[in-house]
Chains A and B, each alone.
Chain A
């Protein structure tokens, strides 16, 4: 079942060259889909359009069968987004922020309490949830952002460089949670520069270069007996 479908998506800023051109890909239920490319290749532009933060003119993006353009709320209801540098409300406490997100998604008091407790313990941040976010380290903010994303049990998690700033244990926890989400029928679409992580974690991958997909498919089919790093360097540098 298709959870995310991007069809012929293009995005340009003004009259300048297209930031992304004619991009198509599909993320299905159970997929952990890695989106890799150089800085400025068009990863964030694509991700920001998927989650409805950014306007786009050409193409169509569907989340769980709903159009991002014409049914943005239906899409956002089943999607969670974690930006590369989450700017959380500094003057809220961690728990106030999580309650805010829970209220937005109308999570019952019982369910939110159970989920905050579970994720808080898994990320070892429960003790700090009463403190203002302004006092958190980057990693702690990232953990709160991840919990906020998981709290409504989304069908699609879209993440931009989610492992940046996380300590090794938190990174492992996040990987496990991504697997859990997929096992429950959800899907994960994320960008990363850490190719080792992508190789071990993802079942599908797409490599973007100068706004165009230059390689995509299942991990096995794409890399064969090489490493993802070799394939990436080959494709990204030489354009295969």
Chain B
């Protein structure tokens, strides 16, 4: 690795990481906030580690220890792919430091690879926590030899590389295609969504076409699951083989191929780096504007409109926050087109489930998808250097927050309602069932919105280098995602159990009350500290 690249990586890590902010901040209040954020992330990592150790121990105790590397490989590969797909644009294109870096004597290759390595380094800790804590759980029960442990540790750094590169390539291609258009952010987001769905569905189809009755066979033996995952995700296959069969050849191939693919793809991206940025940074001139009759609107409406323009004006914001809504919509459309049986069979891998047990789970499943992103968590931080505009307005700050909450509700609730109605009809749910589904999802939306804005206020970060720092790596978003995953998992289980034991209506009724109650408490907390 060249000296220039190392120098740039070091500087970018300092400029975008939290260490410098904690050690160099002179404002005591800001320093305290930075340290609190860092500790918060550490606590989340610790919780994640405990979960992974437990899962790994349980898996090994039930005799499926060999599945641990496959599971770890799959999870960190998926994380790598998502990172590359959703974050690479924020790091690589139209970044705030573009002018500075391009005017310095760095090659475009140096800048692109340094930024890619920085993105990798920022995201690898999360994957390593999952991998290393799973290794601990695996080691407690299976007692692997030192070589296995060493290979596991080393290869954990390589497994997410190729998926991340593929994700980044999809992101770069989308950016390149869309960069010449006026509404580049929207086109870019649509392309990213489209290409990633194509990629995911494509890999599923390959997986399923390997043999007609493979589904049954894979359910029967764990070895075959390993094989099937290995075929769809070759890097996971190599990772698993290296650890379970002590195959040093597999380990070497994984390390070499990952590094080579990383270098090659980012070299190719760097060839178009300046061209893409030139187009992205150019603002299209509209036709000569003629002043016509203007309309006035309420303050809240004005803030919501401003937020909407911000949302569709940034592909990083749109793709990251809109991904949940898109997945919710996708599931709804699949329910409508393919029917519930196909979806249920797909999820349960061939098992039929009575509709009455599925009906109460639908809102919880939609919650998991739709509320994956939350504009209320990030919209304050995304104001960045423009925050002074809102601060200088003659309105209470709580009005600004309310506007941001209203926006999140507006982009969330319609997807819930559509999903509940379509899925409810296709599952032959009764009218009260559907109405209660609408009620409970309203509760979900309000809860996640108020919880989101509280996190957004508490962990507001206005000085960022790229939007991905806020939208994906921000403390507020990290905490939100972990809490969201825990609640989603708990809701799916509780709604399923409640539906089976108590029935759909009591279950949805109880949880509607619960969510409205918790939301009310959070809103009171918001009102107490709103200024």
Q: Is A109 an interface residue (CB 8 A)?
A: no
Given contacts A16-B285, A132-B24, contact A92 B278 (CB under 8 A): no
Residue of B nearest to A105 (CB): B105
Report yes or no: B102 in contact with A53, Cβ–Cβ below 8 A.
yes
Report yes or no: A101 in contact with B104, Cβ–Cβ below 8 A.
yes
Q: Is A87 an interface residue (CB 8 A)?
A: yes
Residue of B nearest to A90 (CB): B463
Q: Report the minimum CB–CB distance from A138 to chain B (whole Å).
A: 10
Q: Is B308 an interface residue (CB 8 A)?
A: no
Q: How far is the CA of A87 from the CA of B464 in the complex (A)?
A: 11
Q: Is A224 an interface residue (CB 8 A)?
A: no
Q: How far is the CA of A85 from the CA of B492 in the complex (A)?
A: 50
Q: Is A104 an interface residue (CB 8 A)?
A: yes
- A75-83, A111-119, A177-185, A212-220 - the one binding chain B: A75-83
Report yes or no: A90 in contact with B14, Cβ–Cβ below 8 A.
no
Residue of A nearest to B96 (CB): A87
Report yes or no: B463 in contact with A134, Cβ–Cβ below 8 A.
yes
Q: Report the minimum CB–CB distance from B10 to chain A (whole Å).
A: 9
Q: Is A206 an interface residue (CB 8 A)?
A: no
Interface centre among B11, B26, B96, B465 (most CB of A within 10 A): B11
Chain B 351-367 per-residue mask, 1 if CB under 8 angstroms from chain A, else 0:
00000000000000000
Q: Report the minimum CB–CB distance from A39 to chain B (whole Å).
A: 13
- B15-23, B143-151, B321-329, B340-348 - the one binding chain A: B15-23
Report yes or no: B96 in contact with A91, Cβ–Cβ below 8 A.
no
Residue of B nearest to A145 (CB): B100
Report yes or no: B102 in contact with A135, Cβ–Cβ below 8 A.
no
Q: Is B267 an interface residue (CB 8 A)?
A: no
Report yes or no: B4 in contact with A104, Cβ–Cβ below 8 A.
yes
Chain B 279-315 per-residue mask, 1 if CB under 8 angstroms from chain A, else 0:
1011011000000000000000000000000000000
Report yes or no: A132 in contact with B100, Cβ–Cβ below 8 A.
no
A101: B residues at CB distance < 8 A: 104
Q: Which of A136-174 contact B (CB under 8 A)?
A: none
Interface centre among A76, A100, A105 (most CB of B within 10 A): A100
Report yes or no: B105 in contact with A73, Cβ–Cβ below 8 A.
yes
Interface size on B, residues (CB 8 A): 36
A100: B residues at CB distance < 8 A: 7, 11
Q: How far is the CA of A125 from the CA of B380 in the complex (A)?
A: 32
Q: Which of B1-42 contact A (CB under 8 A)?
A: 4, 7, 11, 14-17, 20-21, 24-27
Q: How far is the CA of A171 from the CA of B366 in the complex (A)?
A: 59
Q: Which of A91, A103, A130 contacts B463 (CB 8 A)?
A: A91
Q: Is B125 an interface residue (CB 8 A)?
A: no
Report yes or no: B20 in contact with A96, Cβ–Cβ below 8 A.
yes
Given contacts A53-B103, A91-B20, A92-B15, contact A104 B27 (CB under 8 A): no
Q: Is A51 an interface residue (CB 8 A)?
A: yes
Q: How far is the CA of A54 from the CA of B11 in the complex (A)?
A: 23
Chain A 25-64 per-residue mask, 1 if CB under 8 angstroms from chain B, else 0:
0000000000000000000000010011111000000000
Report yes or no: A91 in contact with B98, Cβ–Cβ below 8 A.
no
Report yes or no: B100 in contact with A77, Cβ–Cβ below 8 A.
no
A104: B residues at CB distance < 8 A: 4, 7, 104-106
Q: How far is the CA of A52 from the CA of B98 in the complex (A)?
A: 11
Given contacts A54-B274, A54-B278, A135-B26, contact A92 B14 (CB under 8 A): yes
Q: A51-B103, A104-B106 are in contact. List 15 more A-B contacts (CB 8 A).
A: A52-B102, A53-B274, A54-B274, A73-B106, A76-B105, A80-B103, A89-B14, A91-B465, A96-B14, A100-B7, A103-B7, A104-B104, A131-B24, A134-B463, A135-B26
Shortest 5 CB-CB distances between A and B: which pairs?
A89-B15, A81-B103, A76-B105, A90-B463, A134-B463
Pull 17 A–B residue pairs with CB atoms less than 8 Å apart, ordered by A. Answer: A13-B279, A48-B99, A51-B102, A53-B99, A55-B275, A72-B107, A79-B103, A83-B99, A83-B100, A91-B14, A91-B20, A92-B15, A93-B24, A104-B106, A105-B105, A131-B24, A132-B25
